Amino acid sequence: MTSIRKWQVGESLPEVTLAPVSRLDLIKYAGASGDYNPIHTIDEEAKKAGLPGIIAHGMWTMGNLAKLFTPYYEEGFVQDYFVRFQSMVFLNDVITLKATVKEKDKKAIRFAVAAVNQHGKEVVKGEAVFALYE
């Protein structure tokens, strides 16, 4: 695997494609996060809220974006991270995670990050700063 230090501005880390979103993923996330809002797990409640079906927790998608950096944790850590939620994620959506180098110096690399659904629509986008160990 290539060191994260070798990536240059404009280059992208290898994309990560998640398995289709399942109800079990969202039930597990609800338990782990304490977010039991029923629009994430119960079809009838999501429909009562005006949604076409249950939607993934935004933080579930955001948290998954960190998987892009897992192979590089021996070299540093995610120091700063922020996103904007662009669109909803539904059951069976296939989400692809992306990160492109925006800026770089000896101490950190700033990435543009995004989660994109199977239709090519960005559902989450933002930035992550990966601090490098000295």
Mean pLDDT of 1-23: 95
pLDDT category at 11 given cuts 50, 70, 90 is very high
Looking at residue 73, its pLDDT comes to 96
| 3-state SS, residue 3 | coil
Q: Give CA angle at 63 (59, 65), nearest 5°.
A: 120
Q: Are 71 and 108 in contact (CB under 8 A)?
A: no
34 within a domain of the structure (yes/no): no
Burial class (CB in 10 A: 0-12, 13-18, 19+), 87: middle
CATH number for position 67: 3.10.129.10
104 within a domain of the structure (yes/no): yes
45 within a domain of the structure (yes/no): no
| Structure confidence by residue, pLDDT tens digits, 76-131 | 999 999 999 999 999 999 999 999 999 999 999 999 999 999 999 999 999 999 99
Domain count within the chain: 1
Q: What is the CB neighbour count within 10 angstroms for residue 46?
A: 20
10 within a domain of the structure (yes/no): yes
pLDDT category at 2 given cuts 50, 70, 90 is confident
Which residue type occupies 51?
A: L
99 within a domain of the structure (yes/no): yes
Q: Are 113 and 97 in contact (CB under 8 A)?
A: yes
Burial class (CB in 10 A: 0-12, 13-18, 19+), 1: exposed
Q: What is the CB neighbour count within 10 angstroms for residue 75?
A: 15
| Structure confidence by residue, pLDDT tens digits, 17-75 | 999 999 999 999 999 999 999 999 999 999 999 999 999 999 999 999 999 999 999 99
105 within a domain of the structure (yes/no): yes
Looking at residue 81, its pLDDT comes to 95
Dump the DSSP string for 24-70: HHHHHHHHHH----GGGT-HHHHHHTT-SS-B--HHHHHHHHGGGGG
Domain of 104 in residue numbering reads as: 4-20+57-132
50 within a domain of the structure (yes/no): no
126 within a domain of the structure (yes/no): yes
pLDDT at 1 over 80: no
